[in-house]
Amino acid sequence: MATSDTLQRLEATIAARRNADPDNSYVAKLHARGLNKIAQKLGEEATETVIAALAEDRAALVGEAADLLFHLLVLLGAKDIPLTDVLAELDRREGVSGIAEKAARNS
Ligand SMILES: N=c1c2ncn([C@@H]3O[C@H](COP(=O)(O)OP(=O)(O)OP(=O)(O)O)[C@@H](O)[C@H]3O)c2ncn1[C@@H]1O[C@H](COP(=O)(O)O)[C@@H](O)[C@H]1O
């Protein structure tokens, strides 16, 4: 079953493929083209995800969201930011955000 482990496995695969032959690896090809290209691809995938959502096309949205997550992991890897740092930030926000929780704390 797909879980957050899926993202961690994909992160490891991306790290392992980074220095592969760009002719045989899309990850290596992206790295060879540099951070600007990786960032540009992430932006394109974000736009395509938004378009699929607004088009009410569920299958396209699932596919574009997968492309978006994949390219986000490539960008994070290129910036040497482990996925666990992002997950930890989300965990931290879980503890401090939420309108009801804030109101309860302030009352
Ligand atoms: N999850 C993915 C994944 N999702 C999307 N893509 C690629 O992302 C690209 C997006 O398509 P585009 O048309 O936007 O890009 P493009 O035309 O190939 O490139 P541009 O010249 O337009 O920049 C496609 O080539 C897809 O194959 C992925 N490529 C690889 N992975 C994972 O990464 C692993 C390692 O891949 P390799 O590096 O290729 O071994 C694979 O085993 C997969 O698990």
Ligand 1 shell residues, CB under 6 Å: 10, 13, 17, 25-28, 41, 67, 70
Question: Which of 23, 25, 26 has the most ligand 1 atoms within 8 A of CB, as the residue to mutate?
Answer: 26
Distance (Å, whole) CA 58 – CA 84: 29
Q: How far is CA 32 from CA 27, 37, 46, 79, 82, in A?
A: 9, 9, 22, 14, 20
In a domain, 93, yes or no: no
Question: Is 105 contained in some domain?
Answer: no
In this predicted structure, the answer to whether residue 98 has a pLDDT above a threshold of 70 is no
Has residue 89 been placed in a domain?
no
- CA of 14 from ligand 1 middle (Å) equals 11
Does a structural domain hold residue 34? yes
The answer to whether residue 99 sits within a structural domain is: no
Are 24 and 60 spatial neighbours (Cβ–Cβ below 8 Å)? Answer: no
Domain count, the chain: 1
Report pLDDT digits (tens) over 24-79. Answer: 999 999 999 999 999 999 999 999 999 999 999 999 999 999 999 999 999 999 99
Q: What is the DSSP letter of 21?
A: -
**Domain contains 88:** no
Ligand 1 center to 66 CA (angstroms): 11
33 alpha carbon – ligand 1 mean position (Å):
14
Residue 106 lies in a domain: no
Burial 29-46 (b: 16+ CB within 10 A, else e): ebbeeeeeebeebbeebb
CATH number of 38's domain: 1.10.287.1080
**How far apart are the CA of 67 and the centre of ligand 1, in A?**
8
Domain span at residue 63?
A: 4-81
**DSSP letters spanning 74-85:** HHHHHTT--HHH
CA atoms within 13 A on the CB side of 99: 0
Q: What is the ipTM of this complex?
A: 0.91
